[in-house]
């Protein structure tokens, strides 16, 4: 990106680094750890000073400082208070007038749109229906993803009844949570390694994202859902053969309508070999698949993939939550999808134009409620499993999603935060200080896969137990009995229309 | 069975927190700000991070089975601790001749000036739990294991 | 539906069932005595009975018992019935005035069959029942089976039994229910048993999976309008037992399935069987405490939930099979018994007319 020669930039630093000089021992850990060269050691004075304008607010130096001498805060800009022209808007204007470029950002939409999870409340049983104690009784979270029959053909004349119907291929999960699609390329080898190890240990699946699959990870294939995205990066026969399932990515919540974007800075030799593209070149996936321009084209691709894997694995279709999501999901199922993954506006990404990330798409809660309702009305809800994504932050969000009708949820941002991400939103620079969203070998070392795996397994274990506690509190001992059971939800602080769209009664209404 | 420090260089991030914590552990006050600011001469770290390009790792005394430093010590200050099997320098007996430094194949012994000149090296933190470098490595690039 | 009927009422209750496997018919007096013993399990806000074999004069006709809140509903409903069915006979259901039962609605019964060329009579009858219950305000089909009928209302069961003069009927199978709802809604249609075709269900418990069971049933055109948990149980039994042809003794495998970790330890073909059933019929799994007695044309069965949160006792004497919430209710009418035992979690214990007594056929039960 060329800067205009000579003219001074009017951009102001975003962050302020405050060093407590009583505590700073000039040990230089901050100097060594900052990938953006914010801190400098002056040998003559034996002090460390900083260049605030480079700071991205990733908190790495703050975390590692052995004497807790550092604080990184958002810098207060002295503009006249203006409810309309926010600091962010002004900043964007300065940046664009200086560069003439599209502003990129990382992670998910950070705007204060309404979060519906925070307006949904759960039920508990009292007296008439005893709650169930997860420490003493089994509470089942097992989930199967895939197309289901409506009825079984059973031979009752044998010694023991025999099922004659052949069931469609299923993914078996120990709990209704999967690791979301984050490509090797957008995240580092070590981060991907942590995720596949955790997926295998916990008994769930992760998603390769659109970056292909590094051969080192083929042994984990059964726990990986591989993606076929519009760029078709890394898609070849072995890729489809080793996987547990195949997902056609039509869109993602962070940038509905446009394709994936991996800046050239992050295309190292290994990435170029995995994706089969030249080293250092931007990997930009086109917006539509080059062979999908209508729903019947999707059907053709789904069946082409099913043929190539001999119908042995489920095929999923991932779509972004947009206004007409119910009809699109219905169409995808009728085109042969076994699983439909829907990604809402809060979905994260390694790189997306900020204006699209923050303004395109709808919240996943509304999309889910509408899709589930529409599929039931059409009588096709059983033909595919619904997996949702886009800003699932806690086990409460997971259980609310299941109650609204999802079969399972994908977690992306939560996974990265568990690995150490501090949501500085600078993933597209390739300078992730935490070793997650980078290919720089100096930085990727910072994520030790055994620590990463341990943290993710801990997270899943903790959430699974919290979900069991909440299920037991509702008097339910199998997640199958909560799925789509909107009677256990109530809304609070929403308008009548919003409650109706969600299909949930307002709190205070009884059965 | 002797416990030793095992190095996992693929995870060393070159932060040198191991050096800092080793220094603090072997300081008189044991407190980080005091050790850096108020103790003079500043205590030295017995572990040193070797770096080349993006490869780095923390290197300290290997407590060799056939320790050349013990063989070459003229006063017998360099000896093996019976219980832990570690190679320890008895600072009372050390006269600062530096024969150990010259003979160490890893270069992990250093000169230190306290009240007088002595050889300074890793002592596995007195075998009192995990050594400071291992316990404080933020990325688990060092581990304390039995061979 | 009236304002006070819009709330779903969970209940703790009493249930009793008597089946004579030789088809020998007895009067309703026995079952009234039996349920009266469990008086304290009810609070007087609901009681009911179902009897099988009570209309020997019309054995092949569907006997509709309909509850009417007002006169207009009668006219509208009879209009529809006359259009869609041949009605051989209709009359007010006989009752006696007793001081314990006040404010009773209007009950009428019709003996009919659907007319015209149709694929399945049963399906047509179900459609008609759904239509009356959903679209005609003030009219509710209480029972719609052949040679059977349901009698229920607001009051202690023994009083309801006397109100409907049940001592005058003879049936080979009786089931009964006494209710303890936690809301004080006095609506006659909300009492148990609940019926569809020849299925009648009495239920002690609360279904915490109601929300999803109801939505699952909507896929198959069953509409739950009567705001009680028991409704979903009845429709699920009809769907699984009649339409999907799942054998009675295996209904427990769907409604109160074994746990996954138990299925993992099974060998084939049991493992694939239970796994497949659970995968496909997840929306039919009943969660929450329940013990139910289901009567049907050939007999009756009892089932309890998969972690045994409510009681159910089964007993046998000669060729009669008993089910009850409490042993005392059985002993009241049959002091000597050949065999008596409680049901286990997820176990279906059934008896059918013409079958040899077998003290309940055992399918897989959860080891809780």
Give CA–CA dist C246/C25, Å, rounded: 28
Between C191 and A417, the more confident residue is A417
Closest to A445 (Cβ–Cβ): which among B11, B21, B32? B11
β partners of residue A153: none
Cα–Cα distances (Å) from B34 to A46, B23, B48, B49, in that order, read 16, 11, 21, 23
Residue of B nearest to A30 (CA): B15
Mutate to test the interface with C, among A314, A470, A484, A510 (most CBs of C within 10 A): A484
User: Neighbouring chains of A at 3+ CB pairs within 8 Å?
Assistant: B, C
Tell me whether strands A120-122 and A489-491 are parallel, antiparallel or unpaired. Answer: antiparallel
Domain boundaries, chain B: 1-60+126-147, 65-121
* C-alpha distance from A226 to closest chain B C-alpha (Å): 28
Give CA–CA dist A278/C32, Å, rounded: 86
pLDDT in tens, A67-78: 999 999 999 988
Give yes or no for a contact between C309 and C298, defined as CB atoms under 8 angstroms apart. Answer: no
CB contact under 8 A, B54 and A442: yes
Residues of A in contact with C212 (CB under 8 A): 481-485
CB contact under 8 A, B33 and A66: no
pLDDT in tens, A188-247: 999 999 999 999 999 999 999 998 999 999 999 999 999 999 888 889 999 999 999 999
Give CA–CA dist A58/A43, Å, rounded: 26
Three-state SS sequence of A440-500: CHHHHCCCCHHHHHHHHHHHHHHHHHHHHHHHHHCCCCEHHHCCCCHHHEEECCCCHHHHH
Confidence of residue C6 (pLDDT cuts 50, 70, 90): very low
- Mean pLDDT value across residues C323-340: 93
Residue located via tokens 């109650």: A403
User: In the predicted model, is pLDDT for residue C2 greater than 50?
Assistant: no
Rg (CA), chain B: 15
> ipTM higher than 0.85?
yes
Fold for the domain defined by A143-502? TIM Barrel (3.20.20)
Give yes or no for a contact between A26 and A41, defined as CB atoms under 8 angstroms apart. Answer: yes
Structure tokens at A280: 């250092």
Note the pTM of the prediction, 2 decimals: 0.89
DSSP string, A69-85: -EEEEEPPP-PPP-SSS
Give yes or no for a contact between C16 and C175, defined as CB atoms under 8 angstroms apart. Answer: yes
Return the CATH number of B1-60+126-147, one of 3.30.70.20, 3.60.130.10, 1.20.1510.10, 3.30.70.240: 3.30.70.20
At CA B60, angle to CA B50 and CA A63, rounded to 5?
65
* C-alpha distance from A375 to closest chain C C-alpha (Å): 10
Give yes or no for a contact between C307 and A137, defined as CB atoms under 8 angstroms apart. Answer: yes
Q: How many interface pairs between A and C have CB atoms less than 8 angstroms apart?
A: 119
CB contact under 8 A, A481 and C287: yes
For the purposes of burial, counting CB atoms within 10 Å of the CB of A11, is it exposed (0-12), middle (13-18) or buried (19 or more)?
A: exposed
Confidence of residue A505 (pLDDT cuts 50, 70, 90): very high
Structure tokens at A183: 């490509």
Residue of A nearest to C264 (CA): A142
Three-state SS sequence of A174-186: CCCEEECECCECC
Residue window 258-287, chain C: list those with CB within 8 Å of chain A: 259-261, 269-270, 272-273, 276-280, 282-283, 285-287
CB contact under 8 A, C280 and A161: no
CB contact under 8 A, C282 and A376: no
Write down the mean pLDDT value for chain A: 93
Rg (CA), chain A: 24
Residues of A in contact with B54 (CB under 8 A): 440-442, 445
Q: What is the CATH number of domain B65-121?
A: 3.30.70.20
CB under 8 Å to A123, separation ≥6 — which residues?
A474, A487, A488, A489, A490
Other residues' Cβ atoms within 10 Å of the Cβ of residue A356: 18
Closest to B15 (Cβ–Cβ): which among A25, A26, A33? A33
Residues that constitute the known binding site of A for [4Fe-4S] cluster: 24, 27, 30, 34, 55, 58, 61, 65
Stated length of chain B: 147
Write down the mean pLDDT value for chain B: 91
Catalytic residue among C13, C85, C173, C363: C13
pLDDT in tens, A334-392: 999 999 999 999 999 999 999 999 999 999 999 999 999 999 999 899 999 999 999 99
Residues of A in contact with C288 (CB under 8 A): 125, 129, 475-476, 481
Give yes or no for a contact between C39 and C156, defined as CB atoms under 8 angstroms apart. Answer: yes
Distance of CA A402 to the CA centre of its chain: 17
Phi, psi of A371 (to 5 degrees): -65, -45
Is the minimum CB–CB distance between A468 and chain C shorter than 8 Å? no
CB contact under 8 A, C10 and A511: yes
C85 is catalytic: no
Confidence of residue A27 (pLDDT cuts 50, 70, 90): very high
- Looking at residue A311, the DSSP 8-state letter turns out to be T
Q: Is the dihedral of CA C154, C158, C159, C163 positive or negative?
A: positive
Residue window 118-137, chain A: list those with CB within 8 Å of chain C: 125, 127-130, 132, 137
Q: What is the CATH number of domain A15-105?
A: 3.30.70.20
Give CA–CA dist C129/C223, Å, rounded: 10
Residue located via tokens 């989930």: A143
Closest to A23 (Cβ–Cβ): which among B20, B33, B139? B33
- Mean pLDDT value across residues C153-162: 92
- Mean pLDDT value across residues A485-496: 94
Give yes or no for a contact between C46 and C152, defined as CB atoms under 8 angstroms apart. Answer: yes
Residue located via tokens 């810098």: A75
Give CA–CA dist C157/C41, Å, rounded: 11
CA terminus-to-terminus distance, chain B: 7
Residues of A in contact with B33 (CB under 8 A): 22-23, 25, 67
- Mean pLDDT value across residues B59-88: 92
User: Neighbouring chains of C at 3+ CB pairs within 8 Å?
Assistant: A
Other residues' Cβ atoms within 10 Å of the Cβ of residue A112: 6
pLDDT in tens, A312-343: 999 999 999 999 999 999 999 999 999 999 99
Give CA–CA dist C286/C232, Å, rounded: 9
User: In the predicted model, is pLDDT for residue C8 greater than 70?
Assistant: no
CB under 8 Å to A452, separation ≥6 — which residues?
A190, A191, A193, A194, A195, A197, A198, A419
Mutate to test the interface with A, among C3, C215, C366 (most CBs of A within 10 A): C215
For the purposes of burial, counting CB atoms within 10 Å of the CB of C173, is it exposed (0-12), middle (13-18) or buried (19 or more)?
A: buried
User: In the predicted model, is pLDDT for residue C4 greater than 60?
Assistant: no
CB contact under 8 A, B14 and A27: no
User: In the predicted model, is pLDDT for residue C224 greater than 90?
Assistant: no
* C-alpha distance from C257 to closest chain A C-alpha (Å): 10
CB contact under 8 A, A32 and B15: yes
Q: Give, in words, the CATH class of C9-202+294-352.
A: alpha beta
Residue ranges in A266-315 assigned as alpha helix (H): 269-275, 295-308
Residue of A nearest to B15 (CA): A29
- Mean pLDDT value across residues A257-262: 85
User: In the predicted model, is pLDDT for residue C185 greater than 70?
Assistant: no
Domain boundaries, chain C: 9-202+294-352
Q: What is the dihedral of CA B16, B20, B25, B29, to 10 degrees?
A: -170
Residue window 378-397, chain A: list those with CB within 8 Å of chain C: 379, 381-382
* C-alpha distance from A436 to closest chain C C-alpha (Å): 37
Distance of CA A388 to the CA centre of its chain: 10
Confidence of residue C5 (pLDDT cuts 50, 70, 90): very low
User: Neighbouring chains of B at 3+ CB pairs within 8 Å?
Assistant: A
* C-alpha distance from C235 to closest chain A C-alpha (Å): 16
* C-alpha distance from B30 to closest chain A C-alpha (Å): 13
Is the minimum CB–CB distance between C1 and chain A shorter than 8 Å? no
Is the minimum CB–CB distance between A165 and chain C shorter than 8 Å? yes
Give CA–CA dist A448/C74, Å, rounded: 76
CA terminus-to-terminus distance, chain C: 41
Between C94 and A129, the more confident residue is C94
Closest to C309 (Cβ–Cβ): which among A130, A163, A483? A130
Residue of A nearest to C250 (CA): A161
**Cis amide bond preceding C341, omega within 30:** no
Give CA–CA dist A473/A487, Å, rounded: 14
Does B1-60+126-147 match B65-121 in CATH topology? yes
Domain boundaries, chain A: 15-105, 143-502
For the purposes of burial, counting CB atoms within 10 Å of the CB of A182, is it exposed (0-12), middle (13-18) or buried (19 or more)?
A: buried
Phi, psi of A490 (to 5 degrees): -140, 150
CB under 8 Å to C187, separation ≥6 — which residues?
C2, C4, C5, C154
Residue A284 has what pLDDT?
84
Distance of CA A225 to the CA centre of its chain: 14
Is the minimum CB–CB distance between A484 and chain C shorter than 8 Å? yes
User: In the predicted model, is pLDDT for residue A8 greater than 90?
Assistant: no
| Three-state secondary-structure class, residue A39 | strand
Is the minimum CB–CB distance between A486 and chain C shorter than 8 Å? yes
Give yes or no for a contact between A221 and A239, defined as CB atoms under 8 angstroms apart. Answer: no
Residues of C in contact with A137 (CB under 8 A): 307, 368
- Mean pLDDT value across residues B33-54: 91
Give yes or no for a contact between A334 and A380, defined as CB atoms under 8 angstroms apart. Answer: yes
The continuous run of DSSP H or E covering C83 comes out as helix C71-84
Give yes or no for a contact between C189 and C226, defined as CB atoms under 8 angstroms apart. Answer: yes
Residue of C nearest to A483 (CA): C212
What percent helix, strand, coil does chain A show, rounded to 5? 35, 15, 50
């Amino acid at each position: 990106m060329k800067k205009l020669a000579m003219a001074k930039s009017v951009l102001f630093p975003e962050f302020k680094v405050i060093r407590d000089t009583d505590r700073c021992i000039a040990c230089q850990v901050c100097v060594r750890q900052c990938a953006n060269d914010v801190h400098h050691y002056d040998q003559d004075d034996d002090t460390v000073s900083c260049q605030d304008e480079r700071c991205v607010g990733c908190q790495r130096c703050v975390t590692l400082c052995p004497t807790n001498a550092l604080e990184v805060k958002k810098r207060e800009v002295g503009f006249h208070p203006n409810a309309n022209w926010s600091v962010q808007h002004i900043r964007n204007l300065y940046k664009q007038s200086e560069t003439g470029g599209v502003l990129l950002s990382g992670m998910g939409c950070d705007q204060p749109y309404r979060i519906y999870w925070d307006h949904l409340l759960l039920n508990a049983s009292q007296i008439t229906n005893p709650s169930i104690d997860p420490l003493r009784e089994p509470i089942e979270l097992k989930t199967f993803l895939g197309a289901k029959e409506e009825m079984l053909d059973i031979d009752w004349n044998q010694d023991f009844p025999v099922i004659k119907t052949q069931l469609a291929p299923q993914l078996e999960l120990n709990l209704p949570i999967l690791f979301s699609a984050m490509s090797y390329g957008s995240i580092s080898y070590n981060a991907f390694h942590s995720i596949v190890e955790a997926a295998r240990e916990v008994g769930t699946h992760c998603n390769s994202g659109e970056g292909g699959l590094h051969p080192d990870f083929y042994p984990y294939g059964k726990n990986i859902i591989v993606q076929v995205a519009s760029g078709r990066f890394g898609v070849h026969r072995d890729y489809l053969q080793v996987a547990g399932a195949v997902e056609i990515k039509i869109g993602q919540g962070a940038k509905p309508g446009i394709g994936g974007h991996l800046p050239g800075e992050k295309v190292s030799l290994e990435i170029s070999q995995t994706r089969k593209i030249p080293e250092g070149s931007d990997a930009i996936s086109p917006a539509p698949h080059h062979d999908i321009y209508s729903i019947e084209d999707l059907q053709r691709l789904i069946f082409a993939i099913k043929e190539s894997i001999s119908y042995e694995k489920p095929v999923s279709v991932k779509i972004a939550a947009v206004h007409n999501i119910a009809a699109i999901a219905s169409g995808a199922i009728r085109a042969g999808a076994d699983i439909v993954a829907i990604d809402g506006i809060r979905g994260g990404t390694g790189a997306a134009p900020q204006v699209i990330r923050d303004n395109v798409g709808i919240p996943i809660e509304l999309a889910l409620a509408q899709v589930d309702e529409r599929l039931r009305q059409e009588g096709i809800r059983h033909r595919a499993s619904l997996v949702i994504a886009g800003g699932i932050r806690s086990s409460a969000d997971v259980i609310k999603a299941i109650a609204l009708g999802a079969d399972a949820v994908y977690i992306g941002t939560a996974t990265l935060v568990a690995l150490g991400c501090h949501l500085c939103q600078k993933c597209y620079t390739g300078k992730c200080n935490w070793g997650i969203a980078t290919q720089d070998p100096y930085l990727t070392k910072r994520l030790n896969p055994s620590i990463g795996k341990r943290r993710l397994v801990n997270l899943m274990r903790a959430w699974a137990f919290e979900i069991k506690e909440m299920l037991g509190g509702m008097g339910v001992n199998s997640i199958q009995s909560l799925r789509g059971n909107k009677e256990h939800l109530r809304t609070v602080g929403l308008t009548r229309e919003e409650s109706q769209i969600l299909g949930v009664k307002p709190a205070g209404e009884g059965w | 069975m002797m416990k030793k420090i095992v190095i996992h260089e693929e995870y060393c991030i070159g932060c040198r927190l191991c050096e800092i914590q080793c220094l603090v552990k072997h300081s008189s006050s044991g407190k980080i700000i005091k050790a850096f600011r108020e103790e003079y001469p500043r205590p030295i770290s017995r572990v040193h991070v070797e770096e080349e390009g993006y490869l780095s790792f923390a290197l300290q005394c290997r407590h060799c089975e056939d320790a050349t430093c013990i063989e070459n010590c003229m006063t017998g200050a360099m000896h093996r601790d019976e219980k832990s099997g570690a190679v320890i320098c008895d600072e009372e007996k050390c006269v600062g001749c530096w024969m150990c430094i010259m003979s160490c194949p890893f270069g992990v012994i250093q000169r230190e000036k306290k009240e007088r000149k002595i050889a300074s090296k890793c002592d596995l933190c007195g075998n009192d739990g995990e050594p400071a470098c291992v316990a404080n490595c933020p990325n688990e690039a060092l581990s304390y294991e039995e061979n | 539906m009236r304002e006070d009927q819009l709330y779903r009422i969970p209940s703790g209750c009493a249930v009793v069932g008597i089946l004579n496997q030789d088809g020998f018919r007895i009067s309703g007096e026995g079952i009234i005595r039996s349920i009266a013993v469990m008086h304290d399990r009810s609070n007087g806000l609901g009681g009911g009975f179902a009897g099988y074999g009570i209309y020997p004069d019309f054995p092949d006709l569907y006997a509709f018992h309909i509850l009417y809140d007002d006169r207009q509903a009668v006219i509208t409903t009879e209009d529809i019935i006359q259009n869609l069915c041949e009605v051989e006979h209709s009359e007010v259901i006989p009752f006696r005035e007793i001081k314990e039962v006040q404010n009773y609605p209007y009950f009428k019964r019709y003996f009919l069959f659907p007319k015209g060329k149709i694929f399945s009579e049963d399906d047509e009858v179900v459609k008609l029942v759904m239509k009356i219950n959903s679209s005609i305000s003030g009219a509710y089909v209480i029972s719609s089976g052949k040679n059977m009928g349901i009698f229920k209302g607001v009051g202690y069961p023994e009083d309801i039994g006397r109100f409907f003069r049940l001592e005058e009927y003879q049936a080979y199978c009786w089931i009964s229910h006494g209710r303890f709802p936690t809301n004080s809604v006095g609506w006659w249609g909300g009492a148990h048993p609940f019926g569809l075709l020849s299925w009648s269900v009495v239920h002690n418990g609360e279904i915490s999976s109601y929300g999803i069971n109801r939505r699952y049933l909507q896929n198959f055109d069953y509409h739950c309008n009567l705001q009680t948990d028991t409704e979903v149980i009845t429709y699920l039994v009809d769907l699984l037992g009649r339409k999907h042809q799942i054998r009675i003794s295996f209904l427990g495998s769907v409604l109160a399935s074994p746990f996954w970790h138990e299925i993992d330890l099974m060998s084939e073909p049991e493992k694939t069987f239970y796994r497949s059933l659970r995968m496909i019929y997840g929306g039919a799994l009943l969660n929450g405490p329940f013990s139910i007695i289901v009567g049907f044309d050939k007999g009756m069965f009892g089932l309890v939930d998969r972690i045994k949160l409510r009681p159910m006792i089964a007993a046998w004497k000669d060729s009669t099979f008993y089910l009850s919430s409490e042993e005392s209710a059985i002993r009241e009418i049959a002091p000597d018994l050949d065999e008596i035992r409680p049901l286990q979690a997820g176990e279906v214990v059934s008896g059918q007319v013409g079958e040899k007594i077998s003290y309940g056929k055992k399918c897989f039960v959860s080891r809780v």
